[in-house]
């Protein structure tokens, strides 16, 4: 009876109600001040967590629901990523993406070493700084009515490349942590495994998935498409997990494969309500894991941590601005591209939460990374608005 004692459904149901209610209230407030709802959900978690109200704690049942949430989130992101467009995006997007990964990784790694952190932790921190948040950027560009500008296309193309490369980097970093060995041979092996998994899943999945779906269409039970898509997503997530990659790498691959089937729109429509319920639980629980006391200024250790956080924020911003210079086409607003790459989001947070769960990074380092994500996300919408305005004045004058 011991496991049953850990989860009392009545109590968990109450906590789910609190989490979803707070997620929507804070998400709405974030939207009203021009910020993405995910920021509100993160802050809702910080407020509900042990540092402030203490209503929600790290609990195995809530962690499971959050894990389902992030798997469904990456499945949705995969469903929304157009593989062909991803292959078609210009050389500018590729250069921006590669610069935007190399810069933050190298600078974050160097800074962490300078703060006396270990090799593994430094690699981890460098990796968390790489991935641009597609969602936040795309949303802000839509709100600004700038989604069809060439700058926006470069930003989104680069962000998608960032996401895919970010997942490969995550797979490598998780693999290094799992095996505990950091050498060129190990890194090479895991890189090949991660790329092999993604390429293999796509190469096998794209011809096979339509046939499996056409079989399910002949079945009569209710909800067969929803359940088939969900089982496929969880199945690849489990396979990735067994290969010592992250579950979300599998979920993303499942999304990419199903995005190419003719049932794509139906699958997306049916997964959406499930995502609506579970994804906010993931972001709120990320906020719950933040221990604000690590930032207590009266503690000397906290002062070091605050300095590290400041340094990482500065690195996160400047390296992506530099990446914006990678735009090859002339006459474009490189500032806009750089600013558009600044927000870190889901992937960075997922990195950090896995690192915390696997005890690679400390609660302090976790809080520092969450602070980087919150800060970079927070400044992007107003900064992007300003840089578009500046750009519009400059470009006509230059031409």
Determine the interface stretch with a second copy among 22-30, 202-210, 295-303, 346-354 (rule: CB under 8 A): 22-30
For a second copy, what does the binding mask look like between residues 35 and 54, x meaning CB under 8 A? --x-----------------
- Give the contact letters, 61-90, x = binds to a second copy (CB under 8 A), - = no: x-xx--x---x-------------------
Burial 140-153 (b: 16+ CB within 10 A, else e): bbeebebeebbbbb
How far are the Cα atoms of 6, 74, 127, 167, 346 from residue 163, in angstroms, in the given order?
Answer: 36, 10, 12, 6, 10
Q: Which token pair is 54?
A: 């203490």
Residue of 354, 376, 273, 355 whose CA lies nearest to 20? 273
Q: Does 346 engage in binding with a second copy (CB under 8 A)?
A: no
Scanning 193-201, 230-238, 319-327, 369-377 for contacts with a second copy by CB under 8 A, the matching segment is: 230-238
Minimum gap (Å) between residue 393 Cβ and a second copy: 30
Among 105, 109, 197, 230, binds a second copy (CB under 8 A): 230
153, 189, 260, 270: residue in contact with a second copy (rule CB under 8 A): 270
Nearer to a second copy, 98 or 224 (CB): 224
What CA–CA distance (Å, rounded) separates 43 from 25? 11
> Which class for 42: exposed (0-12), middle (13-18), buried (19 or more C-beta within 10 A)?
buried
Per the structure block, which two tokens stand in for 351?
């990195």
Interaction between residue 165 and a second copy (CB under 8 A): no
Token pair for 247: 């579950």
Q: Is 9 in the site for a second copy (CB under 8 A)?
A: yes
Window 278 to 307, contacts with a second copy (CB under 8 A): 280
CA 292 from centre of chain: 22
360 phi and psi angles, rounded to 5 deg: -80, -45
Binding residues for a second copy, per CB under 8 A?
2-4, 6-7, 9-10, 12-14, 16-17, 20-21, 23-24, 27-28, 31-32, 37, 58-61, 63-64, 67, 71, 219-224, 226-228, 230-231, 234-235, 237-238, 241-242, 247, 270-277, 280, 357
């Amino acid at each position: 009876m011991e496991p049953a004692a850990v989860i009392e459904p009545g109590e968990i149901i109450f906590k789910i109600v609190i989490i979803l209610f707070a997620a929507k209230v804070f998400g709405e407030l974030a939207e009203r001040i021009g910020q993405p709802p995910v920021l509100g959900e993160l802050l809702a978690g910080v407020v509900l967590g042990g540092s402030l109200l203490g209503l929600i704690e790290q609990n195995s049942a809530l962690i499971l629901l959050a894990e389902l949430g992030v798997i469904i989130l990456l499945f949705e992101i995969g469903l929304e990523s157009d593989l062909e467009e991803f292959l078609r995006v210009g050389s500018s997007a590729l250069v921006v993406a590669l610069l935007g990964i190399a810069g933050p990784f190298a600078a974050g790694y160097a800074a962490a070493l300078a703060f006396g952190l270990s090799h593994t932790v430094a690699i981890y921190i460098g990796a968390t700084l790489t991935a641009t948040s597609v969602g936040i950027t795309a949303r802000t560009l839509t709100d600004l009515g700038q989604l069809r500008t060439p700058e926006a296309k470069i930003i989104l193309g680069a962000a998608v490349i960032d996401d895919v490369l970010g997942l490969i980097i995550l797979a490598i970093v998780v693999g290094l942590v799992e095996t505990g060995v950091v050498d060129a041979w190990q890194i090479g092996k895991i890189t090949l495994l991660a790329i092999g998994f993604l390429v293999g899943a796509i190469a096998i999945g794209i011809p096979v998935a339509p046939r499996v779906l056409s079989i399910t269409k002949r079945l009569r039970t209710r909800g067969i498409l929803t359940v088939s898509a969900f089982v496929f997503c969880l199945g690849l997530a489990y396979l990735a997990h067994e290969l010592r990659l992250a579950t979300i790498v599998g979920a993303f691959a499942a999304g990419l494969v199903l995005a190419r089937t003719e049932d794509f729109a139906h699958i997306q429509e049916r997964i959406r309500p499930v995502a609506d319920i579970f994804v906010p639980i993931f972001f709120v629980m990320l906020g719950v894991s933040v221990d604000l006391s690590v930032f207590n200024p009266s503690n000397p250790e906290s002062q070091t941590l605050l300095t590290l956080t400041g340094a990482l924020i500065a690195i996160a911003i400047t390296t992506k601005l530099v990446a914006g210079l990678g735009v090859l086409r002339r006459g474009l607003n490189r500032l806009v591209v750089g600013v558009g790459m600044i927000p870190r989001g889901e992937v960075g947070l997922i990195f950090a939460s896995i690192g915390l769960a696997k005890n690679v990074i400390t609660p302090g380092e976790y809080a520092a990374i969450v602070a980087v994500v919150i800060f970079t996300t927070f400044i992007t919408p107003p900064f992007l608005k300003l840089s578009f305005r500046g750009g519009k004045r400059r470009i006509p004058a230059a031409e």
